[in-house]
Amino acid sequence: MSYHSRLFAISLVVATTFTAPVFASDAKPFTTAKEIILLELLPPPPANVSAKMKAELGEILTIQVTRTPEMEARAKADAEENVWRYADVINNPKFTKENLPKFSAFFDRVVETEGAVVDPAKDVWKRPRPHLHSDLVKPVVPLSKSGSYPSGHTTVGTLMGIVLKRVAVNR
């Protein structure tokens, strides 16, 4: 994980640690882009016509032609941003939304925080998603027209992983 990614993840953990209690009906973000300014923390994405972008597109196309049905199923499962995606690695039958309503509400706010922090930077950088950059890219998940950088899925997945690890260590 790069320095900037670690700094961003740490900022979100701090923001979620020192906030008011969570209520199921209150899925407001823990923090916003006013407190965590990604435009100051992260470098800009590569230019759309750069060698870096061409290399990334090449990687995506290679993965596309070599993906297995298992990889496709995992991509589809990963498309939904919620903590219950970790059930396969937590391996506890009690790890369900129904059994853990307060935990669920907390992570609803984590997901809202990701959007509140990441979306304003996406709006500024406007990096196109690969399928908008090239017609050769054929995603297996629902298409999005939002910017691809910074990655919301990477952000929320990292934050959830950090929080889940802290919960596990404290148990």
pLDDT score of 164: 84
Alpha helix stretches (DSSP H) within 22-151? 38-41, 51-66, 69-78, 87-90, 101-125, 130-133
Say which residue, 128 or 22, is predicted with more confidence. 128
**Nearest by Cα to 125 from 58, 59, 38:** 38
**Helix, strand or coil, per DSSP, at residue 96:** coil
Put simply, whether the predicted model's pTM sits higher than 0.75 gets the answer no
- In the predicted model, is pLDDT for residue 117 greater than 80? yes
- Mean pLDDT for 36-59 is 94
Say which residue, 4 or 91, is predicted with more confidence. 91
The pLDDT tens digits for 119-158 are 999 999 999 999 999 999 999 999 988 999 999 999 998 8
Q: How many Å apart are CA 128 and CA 139, to the nearest integer?
A: 14
**Nearest by Cα to 148 from 163, 164, 134:** 134
- In the predicted model, is pLDDT for residue 89 greater than 60? yes
**Helix, strand or coil, per DSSP, at residue 20:** coil
- In the predicted model, is pLDDT for residue 72 greater than 50? yes
Q: Band of the pLDDT at 88, cuts 50, 70, 90?
A: confident
Say which residue, 9 or 150, is predicted with more confidence. 150
Q: Of 5-9, 71-75, 143-147, which range is least confident?
A: 5-9
Confirm if 112 and 27 have CB atoms less than 8 A apart. Answer: yes
Q: How many Å apart are CA 152 and CA 93, to the nearest integer?
A: 28
- In the predicted model, is pLDDT for residue 15 greater than 60? no
Average pLDDT of the chain is 85
pLDDT score of 20: 45
